[in-house]
Copies of this chain bind each other. A is one copy, B any other.
Amino acid sequence: MDDRTAAERFSALAHPTRLRLFRRLMQTGPDGLAAGVLAEALQVAPNNLSAHLNTLSQAGLIEARREGRSRIYAVRIGATAATVGFLVDECCQGHPEVCGVVARRAEPAGV
């Protein structure tokens, strides 16, 4: 992953509404949730939510699929793992014992 991709992803997460949104999808897992369900659950106007979902999609953190008349959004787990991995990569000059809890998050991630 390059700096720009990672920065774009963090930028997508750098918003209270989108963060709530992403965490909700993260907790839900691959099954995902319909846009309408999310709008209701998070109390966000549909058009506003749509814009935020778009931002997260474009950043590659979530993806959409159609099911009937609903649009279902779900987290892209591999991309999420890669982003986190990028952030804490090679922490503490290869002496991860220094990093404490971060070290256990620092395994290189595929995707």
Q: Using A3-B16, A11-B14 as known contacts, say yes or no to A80 and B104 having CB atoms under 8 A apart.
A: no
Find out whether the CB atom of A78 lies under 8 angstroms from the CB atom of B101. yes
**Binary interface encoding of chain A residues 14-27 relative to chain B, with 1 for a CB under 8 A from any of its CBs, else 0:** 11100110110011
* A70 CB contacts on chain B under 8 angstroms: none
Q: Are A28 and B101 in contact, CB atoms less than 8 angstroms apart?
A: no
Number of interface residues of A (CB under 8 A): 46
Contact, CB under 8 Å: A16 / B29:
no
Q: Which residue of B lies closest to A94 (CB)?
A: B27
| Residue A6 lies at the interface, judged by CB distance under 8 Å to chain B | yes
A63 to B16, CA, bound (A): 24
- Chain B residue numbers with a CB within 8 Å of A7 are 13-16, 19
21 cross-chain CB contacts under 8 A: A4-B16, A7-B15, A10-B13, A10-B14, A11-B11, A22-B87, A23-B89, A26-B90, A27-B92, A27-B93, A28-B92, A30-B92, A77-B98, A80-B88, A80-B102, A81-B100, A81-B102, A84-B102, A85-B101, A85-B105, A104-B107
